[in-house]
Structure 1
Amino acid sequence: MKFSEDVIRPGRPWLDTSGNRIQAHGGSVIAVDGVFYWYGENKEFTVNGGSIWHWGVRCYSSTDLHNWEDRGLIIPPVEDDADSPLHPSQYLDRPHIIYNEQTKKFVCWVKVMTKGSVQRSTVLVADSILGPYEIVRTWLRPLSMNAGDFDLVVDPHDGKAYCYFERVHSEMIVADLTDDYTDVTGYYSTHFPQPQPPFVREAPSHFRRGGKHYLITSGTTGYYPNPSEVAVAPSYHGPYSILGDPHPSDESHTSFHAQISSVFKHPGKKDLYIALGDRWLPGYLDDSSRAVTEFTKHFAPGNDGDKPMDEFAMVDTAIADYVWLPLRFEGEKAFIDWRDEWSVDEFEDM
């Protein structure tokens, strides 16, 4: 039986066309030759207390953004080498893929966190969006920095590329990439300095609209959701002006219990920007009073960053849900409103 959807239902289990849970966490969407590809962390074998953090990068294809066909593992795990950044026990997160028009290569960066919370990057390339991908750099520390959550951006006019990454527990970095997109050039700018978590910004998601550059980030609270923050700038390197939480209607101040991983501009719609979010802890909704308590404790004035966070007994990212919502704009301000369901077809074509 083939499963079919005509709407997107944020926060509800999302099944592929074969009826299986979609495993594309911390994911992004890229359009290639009129087809959408959604890729992300495959968590199907990740269980609380287990040794498997990921099972490679999985990809799905669609022509309508509603129905997704499983295209398999485009970057499979390396099972026989515990020292490989692709080994299932390595903390591999947030793959991002961009296309290099000059080299005709798809370039994928992944973040890998090792013992001691050292976070580095591995870079892979392929001739096709679906792979096979070949590792070209391992254990890269961009600018000799401990690099956490990130986003990759290509300028649509000159093909120049940038990496936005969290300098772990410190600030946001915008770094120019080399012409082949596999390394940084050395030129960079710094943004949003903070003394410690939970105030440090992570999970950067960049998009352009009307000549402005937007960046949506989250605070640093582990798997607990927190209020997003949107900022706007005249260029990739800023300066960025903070506009505040784009979820003003969310009384829980948790970005609708989700963390945004990327923002996708629909190429066939006039003004459709979609915030792709992960609801890492679906059980968070089952105890709203505790949720508010945890949030308040860690974002309270005077927090020195050393207060421990309670964790749920079960953190089962294999059943994490997705919260995809369209952005709404008032002038240069960007907002994200809750919708129980919505359709791409509601938006005007180009």
Structure 2
Amino acid sequence: MERKVIFLVFLVNSLSITAQETTYPYDAFYPGTIWEDSGENHINAHGGGIMFKGDTYYWYGEHKGKSSKARVGINVYSSKDLYNWKKEGVALAVEDDPDSEITGGSVMERPKVVYNEKTGKYVMWFHLELKGQGYAAARTGLAVSDNPTGPFEYLKSFRPNAGVWPKNFKEEWKETPEDGDAEEWWTDEWYKALNDGMFVRRDFEDGQMARDMTVFVDDDGTAYHIHSSEENQTLHISELTDDYLGFTDNWVRVKPGGQNEAPTIFKHKEHYYMITSGLTGWEPNKARSFKAESVMGPWKGLGNPAKGEEANVTFRSQSTFVLPVQGKENAYIFMADRWKPDNHIDGRYIWLPIEFKNDKPIIEWHDQWDLSFFNEE
């Protein structure tokens, strides 16, 4: 009996220690567990992206309730160490006006904020779907602020690149074939028509579809908008104007028919890398990685960057951003969401370190890890 009591006390103490190690404040990352902010509430910043300014990281993400519909808007959190986050409030709030594009019940996903050195403005881009239209609108929304924590002012939304052909588009693709495009999906004829620009032609006048997206700022200050388009079958990479508030008409298609979603992009040494997911709705799938000498490509496939157990479903998560760690050379964090479609607010965050082996990004699972992972040996 005494042994049982001692064992029970030991077990309770062990559980207490474990709980203490995985609640605020933190000194490590615990992928897949509840991640609390300084108010001891589960961080609500799904599909997010991070911007670093001064000595502070800012994490912008979707405020989720039980469903995926926007009822609050885009939250923002701040941190000095990447482990511990303070909620700064709602950076971009839904609007009460039922005629607003960002009224409650719209869809506001994957917000990314970048700072424009020339204008002194913080610029937010996000995937926008209009209320009551499901995912038919396929637009990208734009908002700006003078402060990293907002409030951001909503400006407008786009179907990008209206009336502009991509740079890597063949002249003969600009005209619809005499016998028309294939109508039955998933046939060989349909895939050929897709590759030959069927959807680009269809959306040429009104602008191209824009769903899962990210924004990348290169070393020279040029910004790029990367988004899933053509009925989610093809990625588009578009150069933004100097003020980051519009498109320059310089854009390309990437991997037509490749079904790449959830794009992330980063630069390592002299090359650009992209990590995406496949197209399976809320269900996780095998990640993909790509490499290029220019943001505009061409992009070479490198295979699944995830390795080990559950690598075929990217550790039950989907990519959202790759974060360069400040003050550490060649240190990048793969950020992903483990979606909970039955209760979106319970979605978990999967942050894992990226390693490079044979010039390929590698992501392995860690129950617990910290930034010392990147220290040089």
C-alpha contact 2:74 2:91 (8 A) present in aligned 1: yes
Question: What is the aligned counterpart of 1:323 among 338, 350, 356?
Answer: 350
For residues 277 and 239 of structure 1, the distance between their equivalents in structure 2, rounded to whole angstroms, comes to 25
C-alpha contact 1:54 1:92 (8 A) present in aligned 2: no
1:348 Cα deviation after fit? 2.4
Q: Are 1:344 and 2:371 an aligned pair?
A: yes
Q: Secondary structure at the match of 2:212?
A: strand
1:250 Cα deviation after fit? 3.4
C-alpha contact 2:90 2:151 (8 A) present in aligned 1: no
Q: Secondary structure at the match of 2:372?
A: helix
C-alpha contact 2:50 2:112 (8 A) present in aligned 1: no
Structure number having the greater helix percentage:
2
For residues 327 and 309 of structure 2, the distance between their equivalents in structure 1, rounded to whole angstroms, comes to 29
Q: Are 1:19 and 2:34 an aligned pair?
A: no
Gap runs ≥5 in structure 2: 1-22, 162-206
Question: What is the aligned counterpart of 1:151 among 199, 204, 214?
Answer: 214
C-alpha contact 1:82 1:89 (8 A) present in aligned 2: no
Which stretch has the larger CA shift, 167-176 or 202-211? 167-176
Q: Over aligned residues, Cα RMSD in angstroms? A: 1.7
C-alpha contact 1:85 1:92 (8 A) present in aligned 2: no
C-alpha contact 2:261 2:279 (8 A) present in aligned 1: yes
User: For residues 67-106 of structure 1, what are the structure 2 equivalents within 5 Å?
Assistant: 67-78=84-95, 80-106=96-122
User: For residues 116-135 of structure 1, what are the structure 2 equivalents within 5 Å?
Assistant: 117-135=136-154
1:229 Cα deviation after fit? 0.2
1:83 Cα deviation after fit? 2.7
For residues 67 and 99 of structure 1, the distance between their equivalents in structure 2, rounded to whole angstroms, comes to 23
1:252 Cα deviation after fit? 5.7
For residues 28 and 120 of structure 2, the distance between their equivalents in structure 1, rounded to whole angstroms, comes to 34
1:102 Cα deviation after fit? 0.6
1:345 Cα deviation after fit? 3.2
Q: Match of 1:5, as an amino acid? A: Y
In the alignment, what sits opposite 2:160?
Answer: 142
Q: Are 1:229 and 2:288 an aligned pair?
A: yes
In the alignment, what sits opposite 1:260?
Answer: 319
In the alignment, what sits opposite 1:303?
Answer: none
C-alpha contact 2:276 2:287 (8 A) present in aligned 1: yes
1:54 Cα deviation after fit? 4.0
Q: Are 1:8 and 2:29 an aligned pair?
A: yes
For residues 151 and 176 of structure 1, the distance between their equivalents in structure 2, rounded to whole angstroms, comes to 12
Residues 289-338 of structure 1: per-residue CA shift (max 9 Å, x gap): xxxxxxxxxxxxxxxxxxxxxxxxx6211010000000010131111000
Question: What is the aligned counterpart of 1:180 among 219, 243, 268?
Answer: 243
Q: Percent identity of the aligned residues?
A: 34
Q: Secondary structure at the match of 1:148?
A: coil
Q: Match of 2:352, as an amino acid? A: L
For residues 329 and 360 of structure 2, the distance between their equivalents in structure 1, rounded to whole angstroms, comes to 17
Residues 133-156 of structure 1: per-residue CA shift (max 9 Å, x gap): 1122x2311111011111111112
Q: Match of 1:335, as an amino acid? A: I
For residues 175 and 203 of structure 1, the distance between their equivalents in structure 2, rounded to whole angstroms, comes to 16
C-alpha contact 2:123 2:144 (8 A) present in aligned 1: yes
Normalised to the residue count of structure 1, the TM-score between the two structures is: 0.84
User: For residues 251-330 of structure 1, what are the structure 2 equivalents within 5 Å?
Assistant: 251=310, 253-281=312-340, 315-330=342-357
1:210 Cα deviation after fit? 1.1
